[in-house]
Structures are given as C-alpha cells and as structure tokens.
Amino acid sequence: MEPNPSETRFEDRPRTTRLAPSPTGDLHLGNVRSLLVGWALARRLGWQVVLRHEDLDEERSDEGGCDAIEASLEWLGIDWDGPVLRQSNDLEPYRAAMTRLAEERLVFASNLSRREIREAVGAPQGKGTVVFPASLRPNDPNAFRFDDQDVNYRLTVEPGTELIRDELRGEREFDPSEEVGDMILWTKNGRPSYQLAVVVDDDRQGVTDVIRGDDLLSSAARQQRLRRTLGIDGDLRWWHLPMVHDEHGRRLAKRDGDAGILALRDAGVSADRVIGLVAAWSGLIPEPYDLPASAVPDLADEPAMHRLVDRESRTPCRFTQEDDRWLRKK
Ligand code: GLU
C-alpha cells in the first residue's frame, strides 16, 4: 500500500505542492500564471507536485471539465506526480472529518438562509460574505450533530486570530470569527464545502506548501483554523501570488473568453508562446519570447518570486491588447 501522507509527521513529509484548479470552464491566463509559477518553483526546488480537481460545485463544474484541465496542462507542459484526486469521486474522507467534528460537538445543523442571517445581524443585503455570528447558533443541543440531512452544517468558529506565515507576504493575521463566523463545512446538497474539502485533501495528499492566487489569502486563516481543529499536524507554508488583471484593472476571469487556454490553442497559438508571455509578465524573462515550460524552473527561484510580488504590489500585472496581439502573431 502507498504510505498515507497524513500519518507522517508534517516535518518529515517531502515538500509537496498542489495544482488545484476548479473545472468551471477553460483555464484562463491568470490561472496559468499561478499554476506555472507554482509548478516551476516546485520543480526547481525538487518538490512533489500533485494534481487535484476541485469539482464539488455541481452547478459550476463543467461536464468534461477535469479532462479539459488535464489536456490544457499537458499541452502547456506542466506535469504532476502520482495519482490525480477528483474530489467528487469519493465523499467518505470528508464525511469522516465531519463525524469527528460532530463527536466533539463542533458542528451544528442550521437552516438559516443568507438573507435570514443578514436580517438577524442587521447587515445590508448584498453579495459579500455573510458572517454567521455565534449568537445565531441553535439553542437546541440536538442540532449539534452531523447526519447529512438537507440542511447546512456549520463549524463553531471561536474568536481568535490565525497567524499566516506567507513566504512572500510575511506574517498576516486574520480572525476567522470576524471574517466568516461559523463557516459552512457541509452543504444542504449533501456535499462538503470548499473549505472542508481543501483542508482534508491538503492533508491526505501530503501537501506542505500552497502556492495560489492571493484572492484566497484570508481563506488561508480559515483553512488553518479548521486544520488545527481537526488536529492535523503542522501549519502549511503559504505562497500567495498576485492576480493578473485585464485592461480595465479587473481580475482576469472566465468571462474573458478570449483568454481561455483551449480557445487560444484552437486559434493556433503555440504553448511556448503562452508560456513566454506568462514568464515575461512574471519577470522571469525580460520580454516575451517563445519559451517551453521545461525552461521555466531554471528561472523561477525564490528571489524571483519576491521580485514578482514587490513589483506587482506597485503595478499589478495586466493582460493588454498588445499582449493579445503578440500571442496571435504568426
Ligand atoms: N480551486 C480553487 C480555484 O480554482 C483553488 C483552491 C486553492 O488553491 O485552495 O480557485
């Protein structure tokens, strides 16, 4: 049997990072930037790289999306080690974590909708995160259970800060009780939430280092809190990278259909061209030229990561029309 990473002490685990895209559509150039830079750093430093499909969001996950992601990564020349984990294949590990939390009476069933929570706390209606305060926990002790009925199950999140030691950003503190309050771990659709799944999987895939976009920086504190609550050994090392923006300064997103990787491939753009552009954005080469992914690890050392973060904290990286023209130039 394969050794189970979660039974190895954190400090004894081989350094391992993960590629964890959600199959909610074609990868875009912003995703590729985070994936390429993380992969290149890991390869340079001799770490393991594992792949995980975060496909638990039924509404947003595309049929065939996981295959498309693997095809995109292969086309780009970004590889991974060992078996691929597809979250929706087996919900048992997440259920087991819920059961453990329920035994300690740390999760409860709650029917309150976002609207009801907002109304109860007097918060304005809107799209942002809804903080679930301890005052809305059920009074009925029987609600502190996990039996996978069609309600949401939440974790009791007590006040207190989590110190995130980000290798690129330094130390950052967040209090998950203020950021989200009692967070949903299991949804009324009978599926684990992103926060639960990511914590269970980072552990069972033996992850030691998380390299990803900084839109998830405050999530790191929630994940660290949950990891500790589950008694998982060791704090992860975090490397949060700045995001790529479009010409209007908005984060690149799937709405920018033209920036989709398979769409570019189908338009005749070469993988080396895409890698060259992303490497130039990241300051790994002085200007864009065709570059195979296999050449990037030699360029992506830790000082290069710090330079990237420094520069983009002043001037965010933008995908411009000029970049698009260069990509498509024959
Ligand atoms: N699946 C998430 C995404 O594509 C990334 C989650 C993570 O890195 O923790 O945005």
For residue 15, the 8-state DSSP code is: P
pTM of the predicted structure, to 2 decimals: 0.95
Spatial distance between the Cα atoms of 323 and 225, rounded to a whole number of angstroms: 40
Place of tokens 């109860």: 120
Give pLDDT, residue 63.
77
Amino acid letter, 52: R
Give pLDDT, residue 1.
41
Looking at the domain 92-199, which fold is it?
Glutamyl-tRNA Synthetase; domain 3 (3.90.800)
Quick check: CB of 22 below 6 Å from ligand 1?
Answer: yes
Q: How many CB atoms lie within 10 A of CB 197?
A: 25
pLDDT band at 7 (very low <50, low <70, confident <90, very high): confident
pLDDT band at 147 (very low <50, low <70, confident <90, very high): very high
Asked if residue 3 has pLDDT above 60, the reply is no
Ranges of H-type helices in the chain: 29-45, 65-76, 92-103, 114-121, 176-179, 194-204, 217-229, 261-266, 271-281, 302-314, 321-328
Distance 135 CA to ligand 1 centre (A): 31
Joined tokens for residue 146: 């996990």
On average, the pLDDT of the chain sits at: 94
Quick check: CB of 87 below 6 Å from ligand 1?
Answer: no
Give pLDDT, residue 258.
58
Give pLDDT, residue 59.
79
Spatial distance between the Cα atoms of 40 and 64, rounded to a whole number of angstroms: 27
| CB 156 within 8 Å of CB 108 | yes
Distance 143 CA to ligand 1 centre (A): 31
> pLDDT tens digit string along 215-238?
999 999 999 999 999 999 999 999
Quick check: CB of 110 below 6 Å from ligand 1?
Answer: no
Asked if residue 99 has pLDDT above 50, the reply is yes
Distance 138 CA to ligand 1 centre (A): 31
> pLDDT tens digit string along 30-57?
999 999 999 999 999 999 999 999 999 8
> pLDDT tens digit string along 235-291?
999 999 999 999 999 999 876 655 789 999 999 999 999 999 999 999 999 999 999
Spatial distance between the Cα atoms of 21 and 262, rounded to a whole number of angstroms: 15
Indicate the domain borders of the chain: 13-89+242-328, 92-199
What is the rounded average pLDDT of the residues 185-208? Answer: 97
What is the percentage of the chain residues whose pLDDT exceeds 70? 97
Quick check: CB of 26 below 6 Å from ligand 1?
Answer: no
Q: What is the 3-state secondary structure (H, E, C) of 221-246?
A: HHHHHHHHHCCCCCCCEEEEECCEEC
Looking at the domain 13-89+242-328, which fold is it?
Rossmann fold (3.40.50)
Q: Whose CA is nearest to atom 6 of ligand 1?
A: 20
Q: What share of the chain is helix, strand, coil (3-state, %, to 5)?
A: 40, 15, 40
Helix (H, G, I), strand (E, B) or coil at 138: coil
Pocket mutation for ligand 1, best pick of 61, 198, 261 (most atoms within 8 Å of C-beta): 198
For residue 164, the 8-state DSSP code is: E
Give pLDDT, residue 311.
97
Q: Whose CA is nearest to atom 7 of ligand 1?
A: 20
Give pLDDT, residue 283.
97
Spatial distance between the Cα atoms of 30 and 250, rounded to a whole number of angstroms: 11
Helix (H, G, I), strand (E, B) or coil at 105: coil
| CB 16 within 8 Å of CB 205 | yes
Distance 31 CA to ligand 1 centre (A): 9
For residue 126, the 8-state DSSP code is: S
